[in-house]
Chains A and B, each alone.
Chain A
């Protein structure tokens, strides 16, 4: 209801409202499955952990490739680009582990119903948000540093 209210009534919060509607829809779907076909839910804590960890490992392998390709055209030194790549992977590992602990806490203390919404909305797929965030922050800092050097902006013209 909050999502629908934000999406329809307050224009500025429409993207937030739509996101809440998306989360709620997954949760409603999960609740229906648990109400009607509880025996068909395929995950135990162990199986969910296996899915989470294997997806997260995939992300840890993918993040340096993605960052490497994205940083390639940026006019900055190899050391600083390398540091950003290492920072991204470290962030991914620490954040991924902390998130896993939070997920396990929610699932074991509250309900399995939250598994889908945790996986799809706050799980490894959301890692792209901070990857893009770190990249953007780095690129904006590089842009500020080289703003006065017109030779580096030649391609603009």
Chain B
């Protein structure tokens, strides 16, 4: 019984430790962003020698949004002969295909890829589109995004840095004041991009490629096998794949693009569920390769581990609540109470636990 209680208490300490570590990490990011030296991407470079760019837009039943993004993209500030737009019509059942064909007839740079058979999904669609794309740089937007006029030029010049394998821009909700959820998401996006992503870029850690308002070099991504259709978070996978193989992901805070944030809790819940599953898949797949990679520094590996394990914190917390309830009913909740959580007590608890685990019950008693 005593050993069980010690294990339960040790788990609570573990939960507190995990929360403290993530809090410290975010606090460090905040300090870096507030007081540290800011690192900018190469988007201020003015260069007439621009690379050929393929813009991929995965879409499924997007008849309401497709015209908006295409209208924006055909008027971008980029040499027309160096850009192609490939909307990926992935098994749409509405008028998305017709609208795309109408635009393709009018604008030669729009080359829709209609997918009506085979597996559905963003990674498969992207792989198919990559096989026909002629650009050395690939830029991806979701169909409900509204790219500004200069965005392709800003993004393409960032690849002048030969280390950069992928680039991430900043996503801003366009419907922030719709309801409580969108306001919360606006805050989350601000924290996630303005603080976390930029601080990770400043500190030469692991900024994340986010899969939209994002770009990558086609050649290395193809060489690394493209996107894995079995993984739900293809963006997180690409981040780790590139870092582990010696490439870097750059973050450009000034490359902004507006999106429609989810306005309903169930839509947001589905989004988070998909991200959590995908992230966990990547965690299992890339945990050891991350540790073994010779291309990453120690700080990059530590940050990579924080990033890989971020979605495990929720189940850890949930089990922690159950753990605390059991301790409460056993009358052993004093672990959280200041009077019993004195510093001298903690090593004593830890010592007792170690002694019990090693079978040396007499020690420390």
Enumerate chain B residues within 8 angstroms of A26, measured Cβ to Cβ: 325
- How would residues 300 to 340 of chain B score, 1 for a CB under 8 Å from any chain A CB and 0 otherwise? 00000000000000000000010011001111011011111
Count residues of A near B (Cβ-Cβ below 8 Å): 27
Q: Complex formed: what's the CA distance from A110 to B17 in Å?
A: 37
| Contact partner, B331, options A29, A42, A54, A120, Cβ 8 Å | A42
Residue A156 at the chain B interface, CB threshold 8 Å: yes
- How would residues 12 to 55 of chain A score, 1 for a CB under 8 Å from any chain B CB and 0 otherwise? 10110000000000100100010000001111000100010011
Q: Is the CB of B336 within 8 A of A15?
A: no
Q: Complex formed: what's the CA distance from A155 to B333 in Å?
A: 44
Enumerate chain B residues within 8 angstroms of A100, measured Cβ to Cβ: none
Within 8 A of A (CB), among B7-51: 27, 30-31, 33-35, 38
| A116-B34 contact, Cβ under 8 Å, with A11-B265, A69-B27 | no
Q: Is the CB of B337 within 8 A of A29?
A: no
Residue A72 at the chain B interface, CB threshold 8 Å: yes
Q: Is the CB of B337 within 8 A of A51?
A: yes
Interface residues on B, range: 20 to 34
Q: Complex formed: what's the CA distance from A116 to B338 in Å?
A: 19
Residue B264 at the chain A interface, CB threshold 8 Å: yes
Q: Is the CB of A58 within 8 A of B336?
A: yes
B334 to chain A, nearest CB (A): 7
A19 to chain B, nearest CB (A): 13
| Contact partner, B329, options A15, A41, A58, Cβ 8 Å | A41
Q: Complex formed: what's the CA distance from A156 to B197 in Å?
A: 12
Chain B positions within 8 Å of A, measured between CB atoms, are 27, 30-31, 33-35, 38, 194, 253-254, 264-266, 321, 324-325, 328-331, 333-334, 336-341
20 A-B pairs whose Cβ atoms sit less than 8 Å apart in the complex: A11-B266, A29-B325, A29-B329, A47-B331, A51-B333, A51-B334, A54-B339, A55-B337, A55-B338, A58-B337, A58-B338, A73-B31, A73-B35, A116-B329, A120-B321, A120-B324, A155-B33, A155-B34, A157-B253, A157-B254
Identify the 5 closest CB pairs spanning chains A and B, nearest first. Answer: A42-B331, A58-B338, A54-B337, A73-B34, A54-B339
- Given contact pairs A120-B321, A155-B34, a sample of 19 additional A-B residue pairs in the complex whose CB atoms are under 8 Å apart: A26-B325, A29-B329, A42-B330, A51-B334, A51-B337, A54-B334, A54-B339, A54-B340, A55-B338, A57-B337, A58-B337, A69-B27, A72-B31, A73-B30, A73-B31, A116-B328, A120-B325, A156-B253, A157-B253
